A and B are shown apart, each in its own frame.
Chain A
């Protein structure tokens, strides 16, 4: 026998599932494959609670095989199929585990036969949820392999809902039941949508039309709702109670009124003997769903790979590049800044020094206006040395402080957490002060005093002696001697004062010279130190920046390499995924071809 096309497509889909590591989907499809190859045609009857599902099955086979009641009644599924004689049994469900298919390989499920007449009540009393009942009845409708499956109503709890969906998964065609006392609810439309996705051959059955006067309007509006929802399914209106009454009385008119004639005709036309077509459509729906599930993550990956978002490597590379540029820009800036700052600093420091030394000189001059250097020089020298030392210290401390500040500022500018070099190059400040040479101080000795006194008294003696000679007195007389003594004393006095003045001037100039010397030598040293520190700072920061730049550059290179590798990898992966997607799309086309060549033989055909 020729392999039907749907089987090849199904097998290819299973292969695709395995290739994409979706063993779960493959298992589902394999189970489905076994059932599709089975000549039986499974038609579950599903719907919300209390819509008349069981009664519909009973009316279809004209036998009370399913329990019916006013409350939610059906708790376990019942399968109804053809048998030579009426049989009934309660069968334990085979647990579905992994990919193992239900089939001849599995052990025969536990089966307990029950009397046919009691099957409905037996199903009613069982508390178990992991069993179902199987009923065989001799009916011509079922002889073609039709299996009707009555299911628990939806909305009655998760266990029952699961049983219903399990029945749905094995369906070749589905009857969805909704009663005529209400129009299709959103939840029911959703259900039909779900069912169509799993198994496209669906008929909606409107039940209980016997008790609704305006059921034709409900039917029309339901058809409109189905059409509005884009669901191309047929709707048949029936009344099970009228059909059962017809069966009881043998009234053919009643049977026609029940609507079951149309329902049976629809089943014969669209389900019975349509095994291949049904299998083909089921496969198409299922395989399309599975390929969609396979395609979805692939497409996502593809979209991602095509560069919707950057890879981590690329992000790093960009970050490193940006960092490097920033650093370069900053390094130009920090050098200028260092130059400017140091120039400012040096002028400030010099000014400070000058200011301080000038103050010292002024104090010294004031001091020597009164003091006699001969007597106070030592004391003065001590003071001067101390003041200069203070000045040097303060000035240098300031210098160091300013440098600290500058380096911090630059460090901030470079924005690095690097240590700041120690600017306090501990120079020996005091060597610049040097020895204060004492000014030469003329001593006014006794001999000198005597000499000056004599020289002064000589003039006075002579002056007054000559004057008194005119009065007849000898040159040397008491007057002239007195005058000589007075003159001598005065000149000694004068001489002493002028000598003090001279000494003070000398001391002043000595002090000034000394301070100038200090200013010169210390100032030079200070500038040198500043320059030294500046150089040291420059070297330090250049090296730091270089090191950092080198690190970042290295990282950038690495990142670049990684990004390139990533890109290549991505390109390769993109190609791979695209190939996979193409393969699946090809499969999907074949799946669609399963249904398209012949116009869909829907229940409406």
Chain B
């Protein structure tokens, strides 16, 4: 039985066991339903880390942030839906709909008269392809709302953690979301985003390259590596603007790029100069201010340079901006670490929820369920794979060089599809796949018995063998 199936049957068993407790029943039923929903990914970070901008960048439309009357923010869920719809969940009252509309890829919503402290969350249904794979949860700044951390670890299946540089506070939060016995066993649900990458180095033209270098360094940082699956540098502003760039904006940029290089450079020294009345360019000041808001100083620098280098159409430019922003890498990483592992992450959330019930309302009859839960957490192969990946990632387990890469690939570090696991490109035939699996299985069986390797390494090899066996069964089923 698959992990998801086992977890589902355990949930059903728990429902049966706790049928006399309305609270537990309600809670468990919600989690049974949750198993079939899209993955919930929370976007979390300190103030001014660009959480809402990143949500917009991922969705490609302007839907975040939703600010209530006092300028505060509440947990906002963005779900896929047929038509725009917004539901408010007040803390002391039943949920209610508020008018919401989609105009020019923007969300318009009326939050008149609501204050952050009276609202538990806002749920927005939005017609968008990205949201079909994962529900995004935009959160208030960590330092402004102390319980964001605990809400996120209960409500979300995975976390995108935004930071601008690695601060001790960030490490503290990443540790806190895994401060739970089951979460510690399976530290597989966090991605770190080095956000506002366009502002690295004061927005120099090579800012994004530099940001990627920093992200690479963080990936190797042992403290961070053991807490997250990957670190990606992203400029949310560039990605969001690139996705929604208008023709007028492109025209203005082309006009700017046409100005003498000397003049443009001198007025791009600072935002004050660029937005000032006396800038020696033929674009009026209002448009320039609007451009700054949408692109940022770096964005304008980059866009004008790209236009000058020959991007003739708005589409070209937009594609290039999005590609350079790093959001594609983030999407890829999201797919690899989260959506590909949808079942595992869902199962993990369900196990966490079940553990809460078993701990809060212990009863003798639940003993078997507690044991089963422990058994699943420690022995499910999916978790073992992720644990091995995390161990290889964080340096707790090391394998000699060619083996390490292969092991990572075979247990699904580059994606869980068969070709990705086997390192085959294109559309390999069934025979090719068979051959590759058989070959890998043989070699790793040898490694599992290889006495030149240490105990931990042989154990890692056994996990790889088990993965290969799994692939073999999957193949022979076709």
Binding site for B on A (CB under 8 A): 48-50, 52, 55, 69-72, 155-157, 181-183, 185-187, 208-213, 215, 239, 241-242, 245, 254, 257
The interface residues of chain B lying within 8 Å CB-to-CB of A156 are 166-168
Q: Map CB proximity to A onto B89-110 as digits: 1 under 8 Å, 0 otherwise.
A: 0000000000000000000000
> Which single residue of chain B is at the shortest CB-CB distance from A249?
B266
- Which of B270-278, B404-412, B444-452 is the contact stretch? B270-278
Q: In the bound complex, do residue A211 and residue B165 qualify as a contact, i.e. CB atoms below 8 Å apart?
A: no
> Which single residue of chain A is at the shortest CB-CB distance from B276?
A257
Q: In the bound complex, do residue A211 and residue B270 qualify as a contact, i.e. CB atoms below 8 Å apart?
A: yes
Q: In the bound complex, do residue A210 and residue B210 qualify as a contact, i.e. CB atoms below 8 Å apart?
A: no
Given A211-B270, A212-B271, A257-B270: A71 touches B203 (CB 8 Å cut-off): no
- 13 A–B contact pairs at CB < 8 A? A49-B167, A55-B202, A69-B201, A70-B207, A70-B210, A71-B217, A72-B165, A181-B48, A181-B199, A210-B269, A211-B203, A213-B297, A241-B202
Given A155-B168, A156-B168, A181-B48: A70 touches B200 (CB 8 Å cut-off): yes
Q: In the bound complex, do residue A155 and residue B169 qualify as a contact, i.e. CB atoms below 8 Å apart?
A: yes
Q: Kindly state whether residue B38 has any CB partner on chain A within 8 Å.
A: no
Q: How far is the CA of A183 from the CA of B71 in the complex (A)?
A: 14
Q: Which of B274-310 contact A (CB under 8 A)?
A: 275, 289, 292-293, 296-298
Q: In the bound complex, do residue A186 and residue B211 qualify as a contact, i.e. CB atoms below 8 Å apart?
A: no
Q: Which of B130-147 contact A (CB under 8 A)?
A: 143
Q: In the bound complex, do residue B202 and residue A254 qualify as a contact, i.e. CB atoms below 8 Å apart?
A: no
Q: In the bound complex, do residue A185 and residue B297 qualify as a contact, i.e. CB atoms below 8 Å apart?
A: no
Q: In the bound complex, do residue A48 and residue B167 qualify as a contact, i.e. CB atoms below 8 Å apart?
A: yes
> Which single residue of chain A is at the shortest CB-CB distance from B210?
A70
Within the complex, what minimum Cβ distance (angstroms) separates A171 from chain B?
23
Q: Kindly state whether residue B47 has any CB partner on chain A within 8 Å.
A: yes
Q: How far is the CA of A342 from the CA of B323 in the complex (A)?
A: 109
Within the complex, what minimum Cβ distance (angstroms) separates B352 from chain A?
30
Given contacts A182-B48, A210-B269, A210-B271, 14 further A-B contacts (CB under 8 A): A55-B202, A70-B201, A70-B210, A70-B211, A70-B214, A208-B199, A208-B202, A210-B272, A211-B199, A211-B270, A211-B297, A212-B271, A239-B270, A257-B270
The interface residues of chain B lying within 8 Å CB-to-CB of A213 are 271, 275, 289, 292-293, 297
The interface residues of chain B lying within 8 Å CB-to-CB of A208 are 199, 202
The interface residues of chain B lying within 8 Å CB-to-CB of A257 are 270, 272-273
Q: Kindly state whether residue B46 has any CB partner on chain A within 8 Å.
A: yes
The interface residues of chain B lying within 8 Å CB-to-CB of A186 are 143
Q: How far is the CA of A197 from the CA of B168 in the complex (A)?
A: 24
Q: In the bound complex, do residue A183 and residue B47 qualify as a contact, i.e. CB atoms below 8 Å apart?
A: yes
Q: How far is the CA of A242 from the CA of B273 in the complex (A)?
A: 10
Q: Kindly state whether residue B421 has any CB partner on chain A within 8 Å.
A: no
Given A71-B217, A245-B269: A211 touches B143 (CB 8 Å cut-off): no
Within the complex, what minimum Cβ distance (angstroms) separates B304 from chain A?
15
> Which single residue of chain B is at the shortest CB-CB distance from A212?
B271
How many contacts A-B (CB < 8 Å)?
Answer: 81
The interface residues of chain A lying within 8 Å CB-to-CB of B199 are 181, 208, 211
Within the complex, what minimum Cβ distance (angstroms) separates A213 from chain B?
4
Contact for B143 among A52, A185, A242, CB less than 8 A: A185
Q: Which of B50-75 contact A (CB under 8 A)?
A: none
Q: How far is the CA of A55 from the CA of B202 in the complex (A)?
A: 11
Binding site for A on B (CB under 8 A): 46-48, 143, 164-169, 196, 199-203, 207, 210-211, 213-214, 217, 269-273, 275, 289, 292-293, 296-298
> Which single residue of chain B is at the shortest CB-CB distance from A72?
B165
Within the complex, what minimum Cβ distance (angstroms) separates B199 from chain A?
6
> Which single residue of chain A is at the shortest CB-CB distance from B274?
A213
Q: In the bound complex, do residue A254 and residue B269 qualify as a contact, i.e. CB atoms below 8 Å apart?
A: yes
Q: How far is the CA of A187 from the CA of B199 in the complex (A)?
A: 22
The interface residues of chain A lying within 8 Å CB-to-CB of B46 are 185
Contact for B165 among A49, A55, A157, A245, CB less than 8 A: A49
Q: How far is the CA of A183 from the CA of B47 in the complex (A)?
A: 9
The 8 A-B residue pairs whose C-beta atoms are closest, nearest first, are A182-B48, A210-B270, A155-B167, A70-B201, A70-B210, A213-B292, A213-B271, A211-B203
The interface residues of chain B lying within 8 Å CB-to-CB of A209 are 270-272
Given A70-B210, A241-B202: A211 touches B169 (CB 8 Å cut-off): no
Q: How far is the CA of A568 from the CA of B296 in the complex (A)?
A: 76
Q: How far is the CA of A519 from the CA of B280 in the complex (A)?
A: 141
The interface residues of chain A lying within 8 Å CB-to-CB of B48 are 181-183
Within the complex, what minimum Cβ distance (angstroms) separates A25 from chain B?
28
Q: How far is the CA of A72 from the CA of B207 in the complex (A)?
A: 15
The interface residues of chain B lying within 8 Å CB-to-CB of A254 are 269
The interface residues of chain B lying within 8 Å CB-to-CB of A49 are 165-167
Q: How far is the CA of A70 from the CA of B214 in the complex (A)?
A: 8
The interface residues of chain B lying within 8 Å CB-to-CB of A181 are 48, 164, 196, 199
The interface residues of chain A lying within 8 Å CB-to-CB of B203 are 211
Q: How far is the CA of A72 from the CA of B221 in the complex (A)?
A: 13
Q: How far is the CA of A215 from the CA of B297 in the complex (A)?
A: 13
Within the complex, what minimum Cβ distance (angstroms) separates B51 from chain A?
13
> Which single residue of chain A is at the shortest CB-CB distance from B272?
A257
Q: How far is the CA of A69 from the CA of B204 in the complex (A)?
A: 12
The interface residues of chain A lying within 8 Å CB-to-CB of B200 are 70
Given A71-B217, A210-B297: A185 touches B47 (CB 8 Å cut-off): yes
Q: How far is the CA of A320 from the CA of B200 in the complex (A)?
A: 76
Given A49-B167, A213-B293: A182 touches B47 (CB 8 Å cut-off): yes
Q: In the bound complex, do residue B269 and residue A187 qualify as a contact, i.e. CB atoms below 8 Å apart?
A: no
Within the complex, what minimum Cβ distance (angstroms) separates B197 from chain A?
10
Within the complex, what minimum Cβ distance (angstroms) separates B50 from chain A?
10
Q: How far is the CA of A436 from the CA of B405 in the complex (A)?
A: 121
> Which single residue of chain A is at the shortest CB-CB distance from B275?
A213
The interface residues of chain A lying within 8 Å CB-to-CB of B272 are 209-210, 257
> Which single residue of chain A is at the shortest CB-CB distance from B223?
A157
Within the complex, what minimum Cβ distance (angstroms) separates B346 from chain A?
35
The interface residues of chain B lying within 8 Å CB-to-CB of A155 are 167-169
> Which single residue of chain A is at the shortest CB-CB distance from B270?
A210
Within the complex, what minimum Cβ distance (angstroms) separates A8 from chain B?
42
Q: How far is the CA of A215 from the CA of B296 in the complex (A)?
A: 13
> Which single residue of chain B is at the shortest CB-CB distance from A254?
B269
Q: How far is the CA of A182 from the CA of B214 in the complex (A)?
A: 21
The interface residues of chain A lying within 8 Å CB-to-CB of B275 are 213
The interface residues of chain A lying within 8 Å CB-to-CB of B217 are 71
Q: How far is the CA of A560 from the CA of B415 in the complex (A)?
A: 83
The interface residues of chain A lying within 8 Å CB-to-CB of B169 are 155, 187
**Chain B CB within 10 A, most for which of A69, A72, A213:** A213
The interface residues of chain B lying within 8 Å CB-to-CB of A215 are 271
The interface residues of chain A lying within 8 Å CB-to-CB of B143 are 185-187
Q: How far is the CA of A48 from the CA of B164 in the complex (A)?
A: 12
Within the complex, what minimum Cβ distance (angstroms) separates A46 from chain B?
15
Q: How far is the CA of A185 from the CA of B144 in the complex (A)?
A: 10
**Chain A CB within 10 A, most for which of B48, B167, B200, B293:** B167
Within the complex, what minimum Cβ distance (angstroms) separates A154 from chain B?
9
The interface residues of chain A lying within 8 Å CB-to-CB of B47 are 182-183, 185
Q: In the bound complex, do residue A71 and residue B270 qualify as a contact, i.e. CB atoms below 8 Å apart?
A: no
Within the complex, what minimum Cβ distance (angstroms) separates B287 from chain A?
13
Q: How far is the CA of A212 from the CA of B201 in the complex (A)?
A: 13
Within the complex, what minimum Cβ distance (angstroms) separates A142 from chain B?
25
The interface residues of chain A lying within 8 Å CB-to-CB of B213 are 70-71
Q: How far is the CA of A52 from the CA of B201 in the complex (A)?
A: 9
Q: How far is the CA of A271 from the CA of B348 in the complex (A)?
A: 59
Within the complex, what minimum Cβ distance (angstroms) separates A535 from chain B?
65
Q: How far is the CA of A185 from the CA of B142 in the complex (A)?
A: 11
**Chain A CB within 10 A, most for which of B46, B168, B289, B292:** B168
The interface residues of chain B lying within 8 Å CB-to-CB of A70 are 200-201, 207, 210-211, 213-214
Contact for B164 among A50, A157, A183, A239, CB less than 8 A: A50
Within the complex, what minimum Cβ distance (angstroms) separates A211 from chain B?
4
The interface residues of chain A lying within 8 Å CB-to-CB of B168 are 155-157
Given A185-B47, A185-B143: A211 touches B202 (CB 8 Å cut-off): yes
Q: In the bound complex, do residue B165 and residue A71 qualify as a contact, i.e. CB atoms below 8 Å apart?
A: yes
